[in-house]
Structure 1
Amino acid sequence: MAGLANKVALITGGAKGIGYACAQALGRAGAKVLLADVDTAALTKAEQELRGEGIAASTAVCDVGDKAQVEAAVAAAVSAFGSLDVAVCNAGIVRAAGFLEMSEEDFDAVIRVNLKGIFLTGQAAARQMVAQGRGGAIVTMSSVNGLTAIPSICGYNASKGGVNNLTRCMALALAPHKIRVNAVGPGSIRTDVLASVVSDKAAMDKVLSRTPMLRVAEPIEVGNVVKFLCSDDASYMTGQVVYVDGGRLALNYTVPVPEQEEQS
């Protein structure tokens, strides 16, 4: 992948799931990666596994809703590897409840991490990139739920819709500094979050019925798209939201899931 060898990447929410897959994808393309996450044990495990692959990796404990911690994570990347060229603003949470039952605390918590966290991470990373004077790439993590809606996760839907327009705003503001900003919007991905809500075949069939490719994606399939957007191969792309959803957003009907095939 063009232009990623020896680049330095900060990945928030990087200890597990899609964030870890982004670290794998970028690291395998030659980047040095700084994983930022609130899960200390998972960070340690992720760093060891990446180094076992020969990837230059370091970590920082970081709550992306806290400006000082985000700035410290950027500083940690620079301290570890000398610069910052890429930021993947991936950290996110979901809180589920009916709209009439959703608490103010749960709504605020999701917006704080999923939207404010991307603002703080993107701003801190961009300031470092501007100071270096050679541009960079920022990728934010959106979702198909930035366009569609599920009534039991209104805070999540609102946050991801906000991410889409924040990404466009950042792209316009940072273009004069040669910093590109794009978003990736996953559909159903095989992560711990999906496992928590899809516990049996009936639940999986419901997910697959809205996915024309009739499967969920592996996290690395999102990581590879992030890798592309961070690379020089995407040098004329900015302000875009790229959906990795198996055809879900193109669908206006359900897909029958064959009874004879066990889906996983």
Structure 2
Amino acid sequence: MSSSTIAYDSGAVLARHLQRIKHAPGVVILTQTMPITMLLFFGYVFGSALAVPGEQYRAYLVPGLLAATAAGGIMTGMFQASQDAQRGVMDRFRTMPMSRVAVPLGQTAADLLTTAAGLVPLLLVGLAVGWRIEGGVLETLGALGLLLLFRFATTWVGVYLGLLIGNEEAAGQLGSSTFILPLLSNAYIPTDGMPGWLRTTAEWNPISALATAVRDLCGNAGPATDVAGAAWPVTHPVAGSMLWSLALLVLFVPLAVRQYANNGE
């Protein structure tokens, strides 16, 4: 099919998902308000526990929560794809003369738009609790671009897993377990105080590279982190974030499209 046909079909699926969110906004509201709740809880409880000034820790935490929100595409993509698969929506799509890539692409594009809108409240609350953007306009736009690129990539991961599982309840249980991924990163605490093996694991977590990139680009590093001996993605966070995102897209876009096509056989 031509690129114009794919774009038209993807736009139709995107509109369907936006309408779906409009009539059943519960999942989106939950996933968008959770980071704000965590910011208020972690920022005012963990900040004192880490023996650093509360405002300084919150300045460190906000970029980490932005990165964790971007990683949340795994959960939402998995839940929505498995829900459509279980309820027969995917089967109806397959009977239509439309591009196979349009269905997962429309879903991931809709998630990207809702995430972009959902970042605004988190940014505003972050500013209210002491976070500040010290970088330039281009650097800040670059940070937002990296966040959305990573969200787009992780949503493709979720779509593939959701189609593979094909069960709404199972996908919901597995998706909720992804909360541990930001905990195994530098999203909430610096890695320099971790044991060697755990520090290595955390620094090779893609969320660590993304959180560090957002902190660097926003000029808002927070508590000092010892980068001596740190993993390459953390010492080169912008490049590391882009490479992680592109690697996920290269791997999971064809997997998701193939899984969608094969589920109908």
Under a length normalisation based on structure 1, what TM-score does the superposition of the two structures give?
0.32
Under a length normalisation based on structure 2, what TM-score does the superposition of the two structures give?
0.32
Greater share of residues in helix = 2
Bigger relative contact order (CA 8 A; separation at least 6) = 2
Greater share of residues in strand = 1
